[in-house]
Amino acid sequence: MAKFMDVHDGFVGVTQVQLEEAHRRDLENEGAEGVHFEKAWLDPESGKVFCLSTGPSKEAVARVHERSGHPTTQIYELPVEVD
């Protein structure tokens, strides 16, 4: 399964509770696409959210985010990893 990081803009001033709700919607919608969202991070000052997921393709990740109400085109596959 491939690993992906995606970036969302426009979340200035969003709270942790709001991020948790957005992440929960992703978890509710992920199964239909074979995607799993592992974590999400928020920088409320810059309005950026970062999501780490695994799945079959960028397109599958994008479809889940679209269904969840927070689409993004900034999805990056992470084929190289070091510990």
Measured in Å, how far apart are the chain's first and last C-alpha atoms? 18
Closest CA to 27 of 17, 18, 40, 15: 40
Angle 30-35-37 from CA coordinates, rounded to 5°: 75
pLDDT in tens, the chain (83 residues): 999 999 999 999 999 999 999 999 999 999 999 999 999 999 999 999 999 999 999 999 999 999 999 999 999 999 999 99
What predicted TM-score, i.e. pTM, was given to this entire model? 0.93
Here the tokens at position 3 are 């690993």
What is the spatial order of strands in the sheet that 36-43 belongs to?
A: 36-43, 48-55, 2-8, 74-77
